[in-house]
């Protein structure tokens, strides 16, 4: 039963990750085809606009000029999540879905850094590719759909952990229930034994009463 659940949780997570990667890569292809590099197109005033840039750093254009470090980190995240899923460490469908968001976002940007998708852009070498960013948040930072998946995944994971952190585990509840049942059986057996002793004593008293 546990093995079957492991398979279904892993498949659910991988489907979510696939959809996340697909939407990210499609949106990046759209941005390259329809936007001019560094030219801003306001959507919600100056607060949110479209502005195409090629980022060598981390999410939201942070940490530029350290591309290989973020490539290694992204690859490590993907491998770690896949290991958790394959080895059955994750048994919750909700956690599986959340991890799907995170690993999908990580893979989306990892594909850019490894330059595995040919979009006719200048090559910088495997592991040093630039991530395609085009979502400008009031000039504070520029991100992409993959970044959104990662951030949502982290937020959902934190919320889930807070929501279920105080709940007893199913295993603990099962042990507690079994313990209560065992105590109940033991008490019933003790009560029954005590009743039989009283009945035997009463019978013995009646048998030994003098007859007139």
Point out the catalytic residue in the list 24, 112, 133, 136.
133
Tokens of 37: 């590099």
Cβ contact 120:54 at 8 Å: no
Annotation says 136 is catalytic: no
The contacts of residue 92 (CB under 8 Å, 6+ apart) are 9
Alpha-carbon gap, residue 111 to 23, rounded angstroms: 13
The residue among 103, 104, 131, 102 whose CA lies nearest residue 117 is: 131
Residue 205 burial class via C-beta count within 10 angstroms: exposed 0-12, middle 13-18, buried 19 and up? exposed
From residue 185, alpha-carbon distances to 175, 179, 180, 181, 188 in Å are: 15, 10, 9, 6, 5
Annotation says 133 is catalytic: yes
Point out the catalytic residue in the list 24, 112, 136, 147.
147
Q: Can you name the residues that pair with 37 across neighbouring β-strands?
A: 52
Give the residue numbers marked as catalytic: 133, 147
């Amino acid at each position: 039963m546990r093995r079957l659940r492991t398979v279904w949780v892993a498949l659910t997570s991988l489907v979510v990750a696939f959809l996340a990667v697909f939407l990210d890569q499609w949106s990046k292809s759209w941005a390259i085809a329809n936007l001019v590099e560094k030219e801003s197109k306001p959507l919600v005033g100056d607060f949110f606009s479209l502005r195409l840039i090629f980022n060598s750093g981390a999410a939201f254009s942070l940490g530029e000029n350290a591309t290989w470090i973020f490539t290694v980190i992204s690859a490590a995240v993907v491998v770690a999540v896949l290991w958790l899923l394959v080895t059955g460490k994750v048994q919750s469908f909700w956690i599986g879905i959340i991890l799907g968001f995170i690993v999908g976002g990580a893979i989306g940007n990892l594909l850019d850094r490894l330059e595995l998708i040919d979009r006719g852009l200048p090559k910088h070498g495997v592991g040093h590719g630039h991530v395609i960013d085009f979502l400008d948040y009031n000039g504070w930072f520029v991100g992409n759909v993959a970044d959104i998946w990662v951030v949502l995944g982290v937020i959902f994971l934190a919320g889930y952990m807070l929501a279920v952190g105080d709940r007893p585990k199913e295993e603990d509840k099962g042990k507690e229930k079994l313990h209560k049942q065992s105590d109940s059986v033991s008490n019933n057996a003790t009560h029954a034994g005590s009743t039989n002793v009283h009945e035997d004593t009463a019978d013995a008293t009646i048998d030994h009463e003098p007859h007139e």
